[in-house]
Amino acid sequence: MYKIPENQQHVFNAVAYMIEKKLLDIQLQLIAHHNPLKQVSIQYDPIKDEQLLNKIHEKLNALYQLLAEFCVAYQVPIQTVNFKKELNVKAN
């Protein structure tokens, strides 16, 4: 298998992490639209179309599978995320 030069590996890592963050954002939006969450100044229109939800979940699962294959092929390491540190970053 082709070994990516170390000075270029960070690009593959960043792409994988960015894509996974976007997929996670989509999942969070689905949760917000499908489940009653505590809201004050935002109100999400509920998704009532179960077929649409199922299709979205199928597509998300397919994208996660492709991302997993990408990570294996390009040796993208798993990044451990600390909850407290992530909250601090979002707060700033």
In tens, the pLDDT along 55-79 reads 999 999 999 999 999 999 999 999 9
Q: Which residue has the higher pLDDT, 66 or 48?
A: 66
pLDDT at res. 11: 93
| pTM of the model as a whole | 0.82
Residue 2 has pLDDT above 70, yes or no: no
Crossing angle of helices 50-73 and 6-34, in 10° steps, is 170
For residues 1 and 87, give the distance between their C-alpha atoms in angstroms, rounded to a whole number.
38
> What is the chain's mean pLDDT, rounded?
90
Residue 24 has pLDDT above 70, yes or no: yes
